[in-house]
Amino acid sequence: MGLRVTVARHAGFCFGVKRAVNIAFSAAQGENRGPLYTLGPLIHNPQVVEKLETMGIKSVDSLGNLEEGRVIVRSHGVPPQVLVEAEEKGMKIIDATCPFVKKAQQKVAELVEQGFWVFIVGDRHHPEVQALLGYGKGRACLMDDMERVTGVSKVGIVCQTTQSQESLARGVSKVLSLLGGRLEELRIHNTICESTLIRQKECMALAETSDVVIVVGGKNSANTTRLAEISKAILEDTHHIEDAEELDPQWFRGKRRIGVTAGASTPDWIIGEVVERIKLIGGNGKHGREDGREGRNHPRGAEIHL
């Protein structure tokens, strides 16, 4: 019997990533042909970054020695100091910060302005979190560093947009158990973006109704890794891969229901290749789809109920 593959409806590029990629493409094709940079790779996907390079968009780690040109701020955003630095250098800023990330930045800035100390639930090294800390102007830190903070009574909590509800809940419990008695005021901003929430719910549904789940996306992509963790907590047979080459036929032996989901920076064509390869492994696919088209617009979410 062949494998039955279900692709999560919201697998792949989210609104913020699509928007950032479109902004970058328009900037590269516009009339202004000066040097064009992104601060860090535009998205966590090497193939897309290569494509952007061929269009003349260079990824740099910092503004460092740059003196002119245009700089694209990716969807994760940057600390405000970096924007000031770019302006001082006379560089044109093309801001592709995702509106959901902007909202989290604004919440941090507002809380600090109103005299709160801010705890951020997030991954220490993630650029979005680094940017949020920048908006904290020295009055914000990671939830993981909470033990180092003393003498605060007005506390705010803000979340990296791609965290899970469980991480936020753990953060809130930690604040209450360690600071509860001393708290004058606690404000919690659930800044997890809708796209992340939907994707995570779909991932849970997929794990509950599949024999194997394949999560596709960069190993350095925080939201993809989180999907893999969510699925693994429900279904041991969960595998996080970057592309179709990594699929191991052994994973599918004796299995039938295969779920596929992907992180917010995984292009559709990579998901399509993964689906086609799984179908080949299951012996129910030859080359491409049954209708002869490339496996890029495979049906999605047919069996997923949230």
**133 touching ligand SF4, by CB under 6 A:** no
- The answer to the question of residue 195 lying near ligand SF4 (CB under 6 A) is yes
Helix 46-54 with 15-29: angle, nearest 10 deg: 20
List the one residue from 6, 196, 221, 231 that touches ligand SF4 (CB under 6 A): 196
Binds ligand SF4 by CB under 6 A, chosen from 8, 11, 17, 216: 17
> Cα separations (Å) of 207 from 10, 221, 229, 305?
15, 20, 11, 12
C-alpha dist (Å) from residue 175 to 105, 114, 119, 144, 147: 21, 19, 9, 11, 10
Residues 21, 27, 94, 101: which binds ligand SF4 (CB under 6 A)?
A: 101
- Does position 162 bind ligand SF4 by CB under 6 A? yes
Residues 212, 231: Cα–Cα separation, whole Å: 10
Instruction: Rule CB under 6 A: choose which of 38, 45, 75, 163 binds ligand SF4.
Output: 75
The active-site residue out of 50, 68, 113, 128 is: 128
Residue 161: CB minimum distance to ligand SF4, A: 4
128 is catalytic: yes
**Choices 30-38, 190-198, 227-235, 278-286; region in contact with ligand SF4 by CB under 6 A:** 190-198
The one segment of 12-20, 46-54, 85-93, 242-250 that binds ligand SF4 by CB under 6 A = 12-20
Tokens linked to 268: 């559709």
Site for ligand SF4 (CB under 6 A): which residue of 8, 96, 98, 274? 98
Does residue 214 belong to the site contacting ligand SF4 (CB under 6 A)? no
Q: Does 266 bind ligand SF4 (CB under 6 A)?
A: no
- In the complex with ligand SF4, the residue whose CB is nearer, 218 or 282, is 218
Contact pick of 15, 25, 251, 269 for ligand SF4 (by CB under 6 A): 15
Among 24, 70, 96, 100, binds ligand SF4 (CB under 6 A): 100
CA distances from 74 to 68, 151, 161, 176, 181 (A): 18, 36, 14, 34, 40
Stretch that binds ligand SF4, among 97-105, 147-155, 208-216, 269-277 (CB under 6 A): 97-105
Q: Which residues are catalytic?
A: 128
Contact footprint for ligand SF4 (CB under 6 A): 14-17, 75, 98, 100-101, 161-162, 193, 195-196, 223, 264
